[in-house]
Amino acid sequence: MSHFGRSGPPDITDTYSLLILNISFRTTADDLFPLFDKYGKVVDIFIPKDRRTGDSRGFAFVRYKYSDEAQKAVDRLDGREVDGREITVQFAKYGPNAERIDRGRIIEKSHSPRVRGRSRSPRRSSRYRDDYRDTYRGDYRDRGYRRSRSRSRDRYDRYRGRDRGHRYRSRSRSYSPDYDRGRGRSRYDDERWSRSRSIESPGPRRSLSPPLTTPTRDKSPASRSASPKRSLSPNGRPLDSRSPSPGPAEE
Protein backbone atom coordinates (compact mmCIF):
# COMPACT_ATOMS: atom_id res chain seq x y z
CA MET A 1 0.00 0.00 0.00
CA SER A 2 1.26 3.36 -0.88
CA HIS A 3 0.94 6.49 1.11
CA PHE A 4 -0.71 8.32 -1.75
CA GLY A 5 -3.96 9.93 -0.94
CA ARG A 6 -3.68 9.22 2.73
CA SER A 7 -3.88 12.79 3.86
CA GLY A 8 -5.13 14.58 0.84
CA PRO A 9 -2.99 16.15 -1.83
CA PRO A 10 0.54 16.62 -0.57
CA ASP A 11 1.88 19.36 -2.79
CA ILE A 12 0.35 20.15 -6.10
CA THR A 13 2.61 23.00 -6.90
CA ASP A 14 4.12 22.76 -10.35
CA THR A 15 2.86 19.29 -10.87
CA TYR A 16 1.39 17.74 -13.98
CA SER A 17 -1.67 15.61 -13.57
CA LEU A 18 -2.38 12.72 -15.84
CA LEU A 19 -5.72 11.09 -16.18
CA ILE A 20 -5.68 7.32 -16.45
CA LEU A 21 -8.84 5.87 -17.89
CA ASN A 22 -10.12 2.42 -18.59
CA ILE A 23 -8.24 0.81 -15.78
CA SER A 24 -9.50 -2.23 -14.01
CA PHE A 25 -11.62 -1.82 -10.93
CA ARG A 26 -9.13 -3.84 -9.00
CA THR A 27 -6.19 -1.76 -10.07
CA THR A 28 -4.76 0.23 -7.21
CA ALA A 29 -2.18 2.97 -6.94
CA ASP A 30 0.40 0.41 -6.02
CA ASP A 31 -0.08 -1.24 -9.36
CA LEU A 32 0.24 2.02 -11.26
CA PHE A 33 3.11 3.49 -9.34
CA PRO A 34 5.85 1.17 -10.63
CA LEU A 35 4.61 1.63 -14.16
CA PHE A 36 4.50 5.40 -14.10
CA ASP A 37 7.46 5.90 -11.85
CA LYS A 38 9.65 4.26 -14.45
CA TYR A 39 9.11 7.16 -16.80
CA GLY A 40 9.52 10.00 -14.36
CA LYS A 41 9.14 11.30 -10.87
CA VAL A 42 5.64 10.57 -9.63
CA VAL A 43 4.68 12.85 -6.79
CA ASP A 44 1.18 11.58 -6.24
CA ILE A 45 -1.25 8.95 -7.40
CA PHE A 46 -4.91 9.16 -6.64
CA ILE A 47 -7.71 6.80 -7.56
CA PRO A 48 -11.22 8.13 -6.89
CA LYS A 49 -13.28 5.69 -4.96
CA ASP A 50 -16.94 5.44 -4.24
CA ARG A 51 -18.16 7.14 -1.08
CA ARG A 52 -20.23 4.23 0.12
CA THR A 53 -18.74 1.12 -1.35
CA GLY A 54 -15.20 2.42 -1.41
CA ASP A 55 -14.57 0.64 -4.66
CA SER A 56 -12.50 2.12 -7.42
CA ARG A 57 -14.31 4.08 -10.09
CA GLY A 58 -12.19 2.91 -12.92
CA PHE A 59 -9.79 5.79 -13.37
CA ALA A 60 -6.83 7.30 -11.64
CA PHE A 61 -4.77 10.45 -11.48
CA VAL A 62 -1.02 10.38 -11.68
CA ARG A 63 0.90 13.52 -10.92
CA TYR A 64 4.30 14.04 -12.35
CA LYS A 65 6.90 16.56 -11.37
CA TYR A 66 7.96 17.48 -14.87
CA SER A 67 5.92 17.87 -17.97
CA ASP A 68 8.38 16.09 -20.23
CA GLU A 69 8.19 13.03 -18.04
CA ALA A 70 4.44 13.21 -17.99
CA GLN A 71 4.42 13.53 -21.76
CA LYS A 72 6.68 10.55 -22.03
CA ALA A 73 4.43 8.55 -19.74
CA VAL A 74 1.46 9.47 -21.88
CA ASP A 75 3.27 8.42 -24.98
CA ARG A 76 4.59 5.21 -23.51
CA LEU A 77 1.82 4.10 -21.19
CA ASP A 78 -1.13 5.15 -23.30
CA GLY A 79 -2.68 1.99 -24.62
CA ARG A 80 -0.64 -0.18 -22.31
CA GLU A 81 -2.32 -3.29 -21.03
CA VAL A 82 -2.72 -3.19 -17.27
CA ASP A 83 -4.54 -5.92 -15.44
CA GLY A 84 -5.91 -7.20 -18.70
CA ARG A 85 -7.27 -3.85 -19.86
CA GLU A 86 -5.87 -1.20 -22.11
CA ILE A 87 -5.48 1.95 -20.10
CA THR A 88 -5.83 5.41 -21.52
CA VAL A 89 -3.29 7.96 -20.36
CA GLN A 90 -3.86 11.62 -21.11
CA PHE A 91 -3.33 14.99 -19.53
CA ALA A 92 -5.95 16.06 -17.04
CA LYS A 93 -8.26 18.73 -18.28
CA TYR A 94 -9.52 19.89 -14.91
CA GLY A 95 -7.78 20.39 -11.61
CA PRO A 96 -8.75 19.03 -8.23
CA ASN A 97 -10.73 22.17 -7.50
CA ALA A 98 -11.85 22.78 -11.04
CA GLU A 99 -8.90 25.02 -11.56
CA ARG A 100 -7.38 25.96 -14.84
CA ILE A 101 -5.10 23.33 -16.15
CA ASP A 102 -2.77 23.48 -19.05
CA ARG A 103 -1.59 20.09 -20.21
CA GLY A 104 -1.95 18.79 -16.69
CA ARG A 105 -0.25 21.77 -15.13
CA ILE A 106 -2.23 23.75 -12.65
CA ILE A 107 -2.14 27.38 -13.64
CA GLU A 108 -4.42 28.85 -11.04
CA LYS A 109 -4.17 27.43 -7.62
CA SER A 110 -6.54 28.14 -4.78
CA HIS A 111 -3.89 29.55 -2.53
CA SER A 112 -5.89 32.17 -0.69
CA PRO A 113 -9.47 32.23 -1.87
CA ARG A 114 -10.50 33.18 1.62
CA VAL A 115 -12.04 36.58 1.24
CA ARG A 116 -13.31 37.68 -2.07
CA GLY A 117 -15.18 40.80 -1.03
CA ARG A 118 -17.34 40.79 2.03
CA SER A 119 -16.57 38.48 4.88
CA ARG A 120 -20.23 38.34 5.73
CA SER A 121 -21.32 34.75 5.45
CA PRO A 122 -21.82 33.17 8.84
CA ARG A 123 -24.41 30.78 7.47
CA ARG A 124 -21.87 29.29 5.16
CA SER A 125 -20.35 27.29 7.95
CA SER A 126 -23.65 25.70 8.70
CA ARG A 127 -24.26 25.05 5.09
CA TYR A 128 -20.94 23.39 4.62
CA ARG A 129 -22.30 19.90 4.89
CA ASP A 130 -25.31 20.56 2.77
CA ASP A 131 -23.23 22.36 0.25
CA TYR A 132 -20.84 19.46 0.10
CA ARG A 133 -23.56 16.96 -0.52
CA ASP A 134 -25.32 19.18 -2.97
CA THR A 135 -22.15 19.85 -4.83
CA TYR A 136 -21.37 16.20 -4.97
CA ARG A 137 -24.78 15.34 -6.29
CA GLY A 138 -24.89 18.32 -8.58
CA ASP A 139 -21.57 17.40 -9.98
CA TYR A 140 -22.87 14.13 -11.20
CA ARG A 141 -25.91 15.70 -12.73
CA ASP A 142 -24.02 18.54 -14.30
CA ARG A 143 -21.71 16.16 -16.02
CA GLY A 144 -24.62 14.43 -17.60
CA TYR A 145 -24.29 11.30 -15.52
CA ARG A 146 -28.02 11.01 -15.64
CA ARG A 147 -27.74 9.59 -19.11
CA SER A 148 -27.42 5.91 -19.56
CA ARG A 149 -23.82 5.14 -18.82
CA SER A 150 -23.61 1.78 -17.21
CA ARG A 151 -25.37 -0.64 -14.98
CA SER A 152 -23.10 -0.03 -12.05
CA ARG A 153 -24.05 3.61 -11.88
CA ASP A 154 -27.68 2.72 -12.19
CA ARG A 155 -27.39 0.62 -9.12
CA TYR A 156 -25.72 3.47 -7.31
CA ASP A 157 -28.40 5.82 -8.50
CA ARG A 158 -30.98 3.59 -6.96
CA TYR A 159 -29.16 3.71 -3.67
CA ARG A 160 -28.79 7.45 -3.96
CA GLY A 161 -32.45 7.91 -4.66
CA ARG A 162 -33.43 5.77 -1.75
CA ASP A 163 -31.14 7.60 0.58
CA ARG A 164 -32.42 10.93 -0.60
CA GLY A 165 -35.97 9.84 -0.11
CA HIS A 166 -35.21 8.71 3.37
CA ARG A 167 -33.68 12.04 4.21
CA TYR A 168 -36.56 13.88 2.76
CA ARG A 169 -38.94 11.85 4.81
CA SER A 170 -36.93 12.52 7.91
CA ARG A 171 -37.11 16.23 7.31
CA SER A 172 -40.74 15.98 6.49
CA ARG A 173 -41.36 14.52 9.89
CA SER A 174 -39.73 17.53 11.46
CA TYR A 175 -42.25 19.73 9.75
CA SER A 176 -45.05 17.47 10.75
CA PRO A 177 -48.23 19.30 11.85
CA ASP A 178 -48.29 17.31 15.06
CA TYR A 179 -44.95 18.69 15.99
CA ASP A 180 -46.09 22.18 15.12
CA ARG A 181 -49.00 21.85 17.47
CA GLY A 182 -46.59 21.72 20.35
CA ARG A 183 -47.19 18.11 21.18
CA GLY A 184 -43.87 17.20 22.63
CA ARG A 185 -45.24 13.91 23.80
CA SER A 186 -45.94 13.04 20.24
CA ARG A 187 -42.29 13.16 19.51
CA TYR A 188 -41.49 10.98 22.46
CA ASP A 189 -44.12 8.56 21.39
CA ASP A 190 -42.65 8.55 17.98
CA GLU A 191 -39.23 7.82 19.34
CA ARG A 192 -40.61 5.12 21.51
CA TRP A 193 -42.41 3.77 18.54
CA SER A 194 -39.22 3.67 16.65
CA ARG A 195 -37.50 1.91 19.46
CA SER A 196 -40.43 -0.34 20.01
CA ARG A 197 -40.36 -1.33 16.40
CA SER A 198 -36.70 -2.02 16.71
CA ILE A 199 -37.30 -4.34 19.57
CA GLU A 200 -40.35 -5.73 17.94
CA SER A 201 -38.36 -6.44 14.89
CA PRO A 202 -36.83 -9.60 16.33
CA GLY A 203 -40.15 -10.41 17.89
CA PRO A 204 -42.06 -11.21 14.71
CA ARG A 205 -39.11 -13.22 13.59
CA ARG A 206 -39.45 -15.36 16.66
CA SER A 207 -43.17 -15.41 16.18
CA LEU A 208 -42.55 -17.03 12.89
CA SER A 209 -40.78 -19.80 14.65
CA PRO A 210 -43.82 -21.16 16.46
CA PRO A 211 -45.85 -21.64 13.28
CA LEU A 212 -43.04 -23.71 11.94
CA THR A 213 -42.97 -25.83 15.02
CA THR A 214 -46.61 -25.77 15.94
CA PRO A 215 -46.98 -27.91 19.06
CA THR A 216 -50.34 -29.30 18.08
CA ARG A 217 -49.32 -29.92 14.53
CA ASP A 218 -45.96 -31.14 15.50
CA LYS A 219 -47.55 -34.00 17.28
CA SER A 220 -49.63 -34.90 14.31
CA PRO A 221 -46.80 -35.88 12.02
CA ALA A 222 -44.96 -37.52 14.86
CA SER A 223 -48.00 -39.49 15.76
CA ARG A 224 -48.59 -40.48 12.19
CA SER A 225 -44.99 -41.26 11.74
CA ALA A 226 -44.95 -43.51 14.77
CA SER A 227 -48.41 -44.75 14.21
CA PRO A 228 -47.78 -47.01 11.26
CA LYS A 229 -44.72 -48.32 12.95
CA ARG A 230 -46.24 -49.16 16.25
CA SER A 231 -49.74 -49.80 15.06
CA LEU A 232 -48.69 -52.53 12.69
CA SER A 233 -46.74 -55.45 13.93
CA PRO A 234 -44.52 -57.71 11.77
CA ASN A 235 -47.43 -60.03 11.45
CA GLY A 236 -49.68 -57.26 10.32
CA ARG A 237 -51.69 -57.27 13.48
CA PRO A 238 -52.36 -54.07 15.38
CA LEU A 239 -50.63 -54.35 18.69
CA ASP A 240 -51.30 -50.79 19.53
CA SER A 241 -54.08 -51.47 21.97
CA ARG A 242 -52.82 -54.89 22.72
CA SER A 243 -50.24 -56.04 25.15
CA PRO A 244 -46.73 -54.91 24.49
CA SER A 245 -45.46 -58.43 24.27
CA PRO A 246 -48.03 -60.94 23.17
CA GLY A 247 -45.45 -63.17 21.60
CA PRO A 248 -43.49 -64.18 24.69
CA ALA A 249 -46.72 -64.63 26.56
CA GLU A 250 -47.89 -67.25 24.10
CA GLU A 251 -44.64 -68.94 24.05
* Residues lying near DNA in the complex (CB under 7 A): 5, 7-9, 12, 17, 19, 21-25, 44, 46, 48, 55, 57-59, 61, 63, 85, 90-96, 98, 101, 136, 139, 143, 149-153, 155
Closest approach of DNA to the CB of residue 103, in Å: 11
Specify the residue, 19 or 239, whose C-beta has the smaller distance to DNA: 19
Whichever of 30 and 139 has its CB closer to DNA, that residue is 139
Minimum distance of DNA from residue 66's CB (angstroms): 16
Shorter beta-carbon distance to DNA: residue 7 or 201: 7
HEC string for the chain: CCCCCCCCCCCCCCCEEEEEECCCCCCCHHHHHHHHHCCCCEEEEECCECCCCCCECCCEEEEECCHHHHHHHHHHHCCCEECCEECEEEECCCCCCCCCEECCEECCCCCCCCCCCCCCCCHHHHCHHHHHHHHHHHHHHHCCCCCCCCHHHHHHHHHHHHHHHHHHHHHHHHCCHHHHCCCHHHHHHHHHHHHHHHHHCHHHHHHHHHHHCCHHHHHHHHHHHHHHHHHECCCCCECCCCCCCHHHHHC
* Closer of 24 and 233 to DNA (Cβ): 24
Least CB distance to DNA at residue 29 (A): 10
Please identify, using beta-carbon distances, which residue of 22 and 207 lies nearer to DNA: 22
Smallest gap, in angstroms, from Cβ of residue 130 to DNA?
A: 13
Q: How far is the CB of 28 from DNA (least distance, A)?
A: 13
